[in-house]
Structure 1
Amino acid sequence: MTVMFLIGTLVCALSVVVCWVMTAVRDHPADSSIISLGLIELYLIVYAVYAGIRQAAGASITGEAWEFWGYIVTALMLPVGVFVWAMIDKTRWSNLVMSFVGLVVFVMIYRLEEIWWGSAL
């Protein structure tokens, strides 16, 4: 397990918990849920920069580069897309939908680690 994966797991888990709690207590998109999406996006930007620097320095990935970067680009679009959707659908359920970003991004960073290092954690 890498430090980047552990940090991502923590950020995603925190986001999921915050969004679930806000689904129970708020009837509209909560600021804390939106901030948790921002933290996931920030983490993904840092992950992408780290991966780019690592590859530019000559380190290779075990899997396909197009697949690796495809996962990163897709993951980067998720929080933004769900944020836009939450601003359009201002109901309690926006918080619940935002929680799925944390779950999906966790799975995606797990897969990124498999592609990067060549094995499951």
Structure 2
Amino acid sequence: MTTMFVIGTVICALSTLICWAMTAIRNHPADSSIVSLAAIELYLVVYGVYAGIRQAMGASIDGEAWEFWGYIIFALMLPVGVFIWAMVDKSRWSNLVMSFVGLVVFVMIYRMEEIWWGTVM
């Protein structure tokens, strides 16, 4: 496991837990849920820059490069899209939908690590 994967796992887990808690206690999108989405987005930007530098320095990807970068691009769009949707919906369930970003991005970074290294463990 790489350090970036562990950091991403922690951020995604915290975001999911925060959003679940806010689903239980808020009737509208909570600021803490929105901030947790921003934390995931910031992590993904840093991960993308890190991966770009790593690849530019000559590190090879075990899998397909187009698949790896496709995951990063889609992962970067996910929190933004869900944030826009939450601002339009403005119900309790926006927090629940925001919680799925953490779960989906976790699976995506797991897969990105598999593509890059061939295995996560």
Q: Where in structure 2 are the equivalents of 1:27-46 lying within 5 Å?
A: 27-46=27-46
Give runs of ≥4 in structure 1 deviating > 6 Å. Answer: none
Give CA-to-partner distance per residue, 1:16-73, whole Å, 9 cap, x none.
0000000000000000000000000000000000000000001111000000000000
Give, in whole Å, the separation in 2 of the partners of 1:42 and 1:61. Answer: 23
- Cα deviation for residue 119 of structure 1 reads 1.5
Question: Structure 2: any 5+ residue segments left out of the alignment?
Answer: none
Residue 13 of structure 1 corresponds to 13
CA-to-aligned-CA distance 1:66-87 (integer Å, 9 cap, x gap): 0000000000000000000000
1:49-68 equivalences under 5 Å are 49-68=49-68
For 2:115, the aligned partner's letter is: I
Deviation, 1:113, is: 0.4
Q: Secondary structure at the match of 1:58?
A: coil
Structure 1: give runs of 5+ residues left out of the alignment.
Answer: none
Number of matched residues? 121
Normalised by the size of structure 2, how large is the TM-score? 0.99
Deviation (angstroms), 1:120: 3.6
Name whichever of 111-120 and 43-52 sits farther off: 111-120
TM-score of the pair, normalised by structure 1: 0.99
Query: What is the root-mean-square deviation in Å for CA atoms of aligned residues?
Result: 0.5
**Residue identity opposite 1:54 in structure 2:** R
